[in-house]
Structure formats: structure tokens, C-alpha cells
Structure 1
Amino acid sequence: MTLQAKLDAFKADFKAGKPPYNAPPEIHPVMERATAELFASGQADRAIHTGDRAPAFELRDQNDNPVSSAALLAQGPLIVTFYRGVWCPYCNIELQALNEILPEVRALGANLVAISPQKQVNSRKSVRQNQLDFPVLSDVHGEVGAAFGLRFSLPDYLVALYQQLGNDLPAFNDDPSWTLPMPARYVIGRDGVVRYAEVNPDYTRRPEPGDMLTVLRDMR
């Protein structure tokens, strides 16, 4: 089953209110409105894309180790995936799918990291819950996400809904701003130039992990 098929199956169960989700039906139009408005804002078109130079970064991983893009690019190409947090089931499904191709990524001489604005304790939970073998980096205050053009502020009505659902982003992220990155996936060459970019305001849609392998093979 493809990654998108898994995401679509989860979305269908979630919208149907099946256990264990039991999501009230009135929340879905609110979420869909926020996604439509993010599309309409054009922010995804202004984010870092193929051919751009990727912003350099140094962040702490789930074990508080410093991880720099410069050091990783010195070893080979780098796949970077931006995700919303361990509280997002769509993100967890994606991380698991990326972990499945990790041996092939490394065989092609590349590294893979995930970046979210969540605190390190939640990054550790991401690694543990999804049994990940790659670093999960904490982008405190979303500064790297902003450098890539991905960070956006949640509208007030979506903040209210998240609070109703118990998604306390200020607590998850140790940041009162109620901001998130748009989900995005990048392949960055050793020269720091982006060779592949996928940015989508719709958090329920993610590119297939196998696409990254094709890019890496072409780069060789």
C-alpha cells in the first residue's frame, strides 16, 4: 500500500468517527476551511523550492545532540522532512514510511532528518512511538521552518478548535505563538542546492518516499 493510500484510509476512518478516533463531525469543515485558506494565501509558492539554496541549520536531536546541515552535507545528499508533531497522526504515518526506505537512502550515500517545532521530549516520543532510526530535530520557535518559508500562524478559529481537542501546541512546542510548518520534503545536494521539493498546505497529503530514491539515484 502506498503512503498516500494509508493516509487516505486513516482520513476516511477519522471523518467517519470510527473508534478510537470518535471525532465529532462538526470539526471537519473547520479544518478544511483552514487548509483552503492556507492554499489561497499562496505561501506554499513562496517557500524554498527546487533550484533554491537551502538555508543552513543546526538543531538539537531527540537526545540533545547538535546536528548541522553542513556536517551532514559533507557526507552526502540530505533528505529533510518537516512535520507538525507527534500529536499529528498523518505525520506519524509518514515518518514510519520514511523509516522503511532508510536503508536504501543510506545505501545511496544520503542522510535523512525530520524537523518539527516540538520540544525534545516529544521528539523522543516520535522516535519511540514510530521506531525511527533517523534523527528527529527540534526547531525551537520554528525558526528553521520560517527560513524555508514554511511557518504559518493558525487562524483564531482553528486555535479554538485545537484547544477543544486538547492539542495544546504552546505546551507541545514550548512556544506561545500557535504556529506550525506546512508539511514539506526536500532533497538537498552536497552543494546546498535543493534538487527536489514538495510543499503542501494540505497536511493529509504527502509525497511517496520512493520519489526520494529516484532523485538520489539521478543525482549519482
Structure 2
Amino acid sequence: MTLASRLAAFKADFEAGKPPYNVPRSVVDTMHRATAELRASGQHQRALKAGDKAPSFELTDAEGRIVRSEDLLAQGPLVVSFYRGVWCPHCNMDLQELQAILPRIRELGANLVAISPQVASNSRKSMRDNKLAFPVLSDPHNAVAAAFGVRFALPDYLVDLYKSLKNDLAAFNGDDSWTLPMPGRFIIGQDGVIAYAEVDPDYTVRPEPELLLAPLAALK
């Protein structure tokens, strides 16, 4: 089953209010509204693109160790995947599919990291629950996400909805800014230039991980 089909099946069940989600239609409509407004803002079109210079970063992994992009790029190309957090089912499916192609990414001489605003304990849960063998990095205040152009602030009505669903991003992230990254994947060459970029304001849509392989092979 492809990632797209997994995501579509989950979305259909969720939006139909099937167990265990049992969400009312008003919740679905509010999420649709927020996604439509984010797309209409054009922010995804202002994110970094292929040919742009990637910002360097220094973040901590799930165990508190410092991870520097320049150190990873010294080893080979770098795949960076931004995701929202362990609370997001779509993100977890995405991480699982990235894990499935991790051996092929490494065969092409590249490293892979995932970046989210969540605190280290939630990154550890991400790694444990999704059986990940690549680093999950914490991005306080979504600062690196902002540098890549994928950070956005949740509108007040969506903050209220998340709170009503007991999805407290301030607690998950150790930050009360109520910002998130748009899902985005980037391949950075050893020269620091972005070779591939895919950003979508719809958190239910993710590109197939296999799309990373051809650009990585072209960098060898």
C-alpha cells in the first residue's frame, strides 16, 4: 500500500466520524477551513525551493545530543523532513514510510533527519512508536522551520478547537506560540544547495518517499 492510499483511507474514516475518532462534522469543517486559508495565503509558495541555499542548523535529538547540519553534510547529502508531532497520525504514517526506504537513502550516501517542534520526550515516543532508526530533532519555537519558510501560526479558532480536543500544543512543544511547520521535505546537497523541495499546506497530503531517490541518485 502506498503512503497516499494509507493517508486517504485514514482521512476517509476520520472524516466519516468512524470509531475510534468519532469526530463531529463541525470539527472536520473547521480543519478544512484552516487548510483552505493556509493554502490561500500562499505561504507554501514562499518556502525555500530547489536551487536555494539551505540554512544551517544545530538541534538536539531525542536523547539531547547536538546534531549539526554541517556535520551531516560532511558525510553526504541530507534529507530533511518537517513534521508536526507524534500526536499527528498523518505524520506518523509519513515517518513509517520514510523508515521503510531508509536503507535505500543510505545506499545513496545520504542521511535523513526529521524535525518537529515537540520536546525530546515526544521525539522519543515518535521513534519508539514508529520504530525509527533515523534522528528525530527538536526545533524550539519552530525556528528552523521558519528559516526554511514552512512555519505558520494557527488561527485562534483552530487553537480553540485543538484545546477542545485536548491537543495541547503548548505542552507537546514546551512553547505557547501555537505554531507548526507545514509538512515539507528537502534534499540538501553537500554544497548546501537544496536539490529537491516539496511543501504542502494540507497536512493530510504527503509525497511518496520514493520521490526522494532520483534526486539523491543525481547527487552522487
Q: TM-score, normalised by structure 2?
A: 0.99
For 1:218 and 1:23, locate their aligned partners in 2 and report how far apart those are by CA, in whole Å: 45
Partner of 2:38: 38
For 1:141 and 1:178, locate their aligned partners in 2 and report how far apart those are by CA, in whole Å: 9
Q: Give the drift of 1:64.
A: 0.6
For 1:45 and 1:191, locate their aligned partners in 2 and report how far apart those are by CA, in whole Å: 23
Deviations 1:132-186 (A, max 9, x none): 0000000011110111111111000000100011110000001011100110000
- AA aligned opposite 1:17: G
Partner of 1:101: 101
2:206 pairs with 1:203 = no
Identity, in percent, stands at 65
Deviations 1:100-146 (A, max 9, x none): 00011111100000000000000000000100000000001111011
Q: Give the drift of 1:26.
A: 1.2
After TM superposition, the structure 1 = structure 2 runs for residues 47-196 of structure 1, keeping only pairs within 5 Å, are 47-196=47-196
For 2:192 and 2:4, locate their aligned partners in 1 and report how far apart those are by CA, in whole Å: 29
Deviations 1:178-211 (A, max 9, x none): 1001100001100010000001000000011000
For 1:67 and 1:189, locate their aligned partners in 2 and report how far apart those are by CA, in whole Å: 17
CA RMSD of superposed structures (Å): 0.6
For 2:40 and 2:24, locate their aligned partners in 1 and report how far apart those are by CA, in whole Å: 26
Q: Give the drift of 1:41.
A: 0.7
Q: Give the drift of 1:24.
A: 1.7
Q: TM-score, normalised by structure 1?
A: 0.99
Partner of 1:25: 25
Deviations 1:59-86 (A, max 9, x none): 0000111101000000000000000000
Q: Give the drift of 1:2.
A: 1.1
For 1:13 and 1:215, locate their aligned partners in 2 and report how far apart those are by CA, in whole Å: 34
Runs of 4+ in 1 over 2 A off after TM superposition: none
For 1:165 and 1:24, locate their aligned partners in 2 and report how far apart those are by CA, in whole Å: 11
- AA aligned opposite 2:21: Y
- Structure 2 residue matching 1:81: 3-state secondary structure: strand
Q: Which 5+ residue runs of structure 1 have no aligned equivalent? A: none
For 2:32 and 2:67, locate their aligned partners in 1 and report how far apart those are by CA, in whole Å: 35
Q: Give the drift of 1:214.
A: 1.4
For 1:130 and 1:25, locate their aligned partners in 2 and report how far apart those are by CA, in whole Å: 29
Aligned length: 220
Q: Give the drift of 1:20.
A: 1.5
Q: Which 5+ residue runs of structure 2 have no aligned equivalent? A: none
- Structure 2 residue matching 1:26: 3-state secondary structure: helix
